């Protein structure tokens, strides 16, 4: 590949990522609402770029779980029913409680170092401008733990489940209520740190306890911020409790 072609590739990749970051931030801040269509042609015209980086950015949004591609119609911001949100929540409880136990057994010293580095990258990210980065690092943290389980099928299942988990809706709510930012994101950092410390210590039971506590706190936020009925959350938890509670009874 000649230098001109390399330069074009770098510029194209950078532009794609810039468009993705912009759209990601606008979904999180509520500029684009759940169910709203993201028209490739309109975005290209609005942003003053060609359709290629826009199309690639939309693919990234779909991969990140913020949008969905509807055959023959295009891409729209993900819109989930209440039932789908709670199903994704309890599936994460089940899969991550298993994954973190496996990770605590299988994680390597190099992976431990990288896991702690991911956690520390989120330290102090508590402003509105930080929210897009915070969300991506949050997802990276959880994906890293699942990958450290060394179970490739579990990783694939988790990727599917996490892409249906509307954490961005929680961030969008906090964007509209900035008074919640510092306490909520500080708590998230401390919970991630506790999970990482338990995994690093190869303490399977404690790691599972900490990750279940963390995800159940997200369930509480669904109830408080998104007005998901507590009865539905509790019903779904009861149906699956034997799969994720183990020694984490509460």
Percent of the chain at pLDDT above 70? Answer: 93
Residues carrying CATH 1.10.10.10, the chain? 3-77
CATH of 3-77, one of 2.40.50.100, 3.40.50.2000, 1.10.150.20, 1.10.10.10: 1.10.10.10
Range name among 30-44, 156-170, 181-195 with the lowest pLDDT average:
156-170
User: What is the torsional sign of CA 186, 190, 191, 196?
Assistant: positive
Band the pLDDT of 170: cuts 50, 70, 90: confident
Among 98-102, 109-113, 135-139, the least confident range: 135-139
The segment(s) of the chain belonging to CATH 1.20.120.530 are 82-244
Between 212 and 125, residue with greater pLDDT: 212
pLDDT at 109 over 70: yes
For the cut 50, the answer to whether the pLDDT of residue 8 exceeds it is no
Asked if residue 33 has pLDDT above 60, the reply is yes
pLDDT above 80 for 12? no
Provide CB contacts within 8 A for 84, sequence distance 6+. Answer: 164
pLDDT at residue 26, rounded to an integer: 86
The count of other CB atoms within 10 Å of the CB of residue 30 is 14
Q: What is residue 7's predicted lDDT score, i.e. its pLDDT?
A: 40
Q: How many CB atoms lie within 10 A of CB 243?
A: 14
Residue 4 has pLDDT above 50, yes or no: no
CATH of domain 82-244: 1.20.120.530
Q: Are 37 and 75 in contact (CB under 8 A)?
A: yes
Instruction: Break the chain down into helix, strand, coil percent, rounded to 5.
Output: 75, 5, 20
pLDDT (0 to 100) of residue 63: 84
Q: What integer best gives the mean pLDDT of the chain?
A: 88
CB 112 within 8 A of CB 200: yes
CA quadruple 232, 183, 97, 91: dihedral sign: positive
pLDDT digits (tens, 9 = 90+) for 197-247: 999 999 999 999 999 999 999 999 999 998 999 999 999 999 999 888 764
């Amino acid at each position: 590949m000649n230098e001109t072609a390399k330069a074009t590739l770098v510029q194209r990749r950078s532009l794609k990522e810039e468009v993705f970051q912009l759209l990601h931030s606008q979904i999180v801040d509520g500029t684009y609402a759940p169910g709203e269509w993201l028209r490739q042609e309109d975005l290209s015209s609005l942003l003053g770029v060609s359709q290629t980086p826009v199309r690639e950015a939309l693919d990234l949004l779909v991969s990140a779980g913020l949008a969905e591609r509807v055959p023959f119609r295009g891409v729209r911001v993900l819109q989930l029913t209440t039932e789908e949100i709670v199903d994704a929540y309890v599936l994460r409880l089940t899969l991550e409680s298993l994954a973190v136990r496996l990770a605590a057994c299988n994680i390597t010293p190099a992976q431990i170092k990288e896991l702690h580095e991911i956690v520390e990258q989120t330290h102090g990210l508590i402003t509105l401008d930080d929210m897009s980065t915070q969300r991506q690092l949050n997802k990276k943290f959880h994906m890293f733990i699942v990958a450290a389980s060394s179970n490739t099928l579990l990783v694939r299942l988790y990727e599917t489940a996490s892409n249906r988990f509307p954490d961005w809706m929680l961030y969008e709510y906090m964007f509209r209520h900035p008074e919640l930012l510092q306490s909520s994101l500080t708590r998230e950092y401390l919970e991630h740190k506790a999970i990482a410390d338990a995994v690093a210590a190869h303490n399977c039971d404690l790691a599972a306890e900490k990750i279940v506590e963390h995800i159940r706190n997200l369930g509480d936020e669904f109830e408080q911020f998104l007005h998901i009925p507590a009865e539905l959350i509790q019903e779904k938890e009861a149906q699956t409790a034997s799969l994720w509670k183990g020694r984490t009874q509460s």
